[in-house]
Amino acid sequence: MIKLKQDARKAGQQAREKIEIANQLQCTFLIELLIERPDAWNRLFRSDVLLRLVLPVLNPRRKIEKSLKKSIESGPKSGTGEKQALLDRLTSFLNVKLCKMRLSSMPLESPVNVEYASNLVVEIVDEAKWATSKDHTSCCSGGLVLVLRTLPSVTDTLSVTSPLADAVSEWSTKRTTRLEASLFNELIVHMPR
């Protein structure tokens, strides 16, 4: 009897997870559609709103990647295809759509708050420390480039990059660090100064 209840509970959890992943796939698709459109719909997204999308997409991406690895290791289960599709869609959204879009076409309500941008850089670097793959590190790196590109002046950019200097120092001096060199690749290519 207990075994039947446990199996029913697991089946219910898997069904809820499958529905949630399907909903997340649809939402991601809708956001991509709105961002890509050249007409007035993309005016809904100001560059400061786009910055607020980075962490809410990075965190679930990491969790889905971890969940997908666990489900693959434990054996073939239903739902891994949907998780892989969502993971691919979030990776594409971050690396191709969000982090490489032309911000000059986006309206800016007011200059980006330097304190918010600095906190966002710290949180993205922390997210990169928890990365379990090069794809997630690449997404974090693209998010850092997006944050730095939205800042209006070089002095603001330099004031925000102090957590990056700390990250480079940690990466280069500590033997056991979770940061990877690939985190800095996009920064070097897109922000050479």
pLDDT for 127-186, tens place per residue? 888 888 889 988 998 888 888 888 877 777 777 888 888 888 888 887 777 788 778 877
Model confidence, pTM: 0.79
- pLDDT grade, residue 28 (50/70/90)? confident
Among 74, 31, 29, which residue's Cα sits nearest to residue 49?
Answer: 31
Q: Write out the residue range of the structural domain in which residue 33 sits.
A: 2-190
Q: Largest alpha-carbon pair distance within the chain?
A: 67
- pLDDT class for 41, splitting at 50, 70, 90? low
Predicted local confidence at residue 124, as pLDDT? 92
Q: Classify the phi-psi angles of 77: left when phi > 0, otherwise alpha if psi is within -120 to 50, otherwise beta.
A: beta
CA distance 11 to 96: 36
Spatial CB neighbours of 21, under 8 Å, sequence gap ≥ 6: 64, 79, 82, 83, 86
User: With pLDDT > 70 as the criterion, what percentage of the chain qualifies?
Assistant: 84
User: DSSP class of residue 152?
Assistant: S
The predicted structure's pLDDT at residue 88: 92
Measured between alpha carbons, how far is residue 7 from residues 25, 37, 58, 73 in Å? 27, 45, 32, 20
Cα distance between residue 64 and residue 180, in whole Å: 20
Q: Which residue has the tokens 């993309």?
A: 42
Number of domains in the chain: 1
Q: Scanning the structure block, which residue is given the tokens 């590190």?
A: 137
- What's the mean pLDDT in 80-97? 87
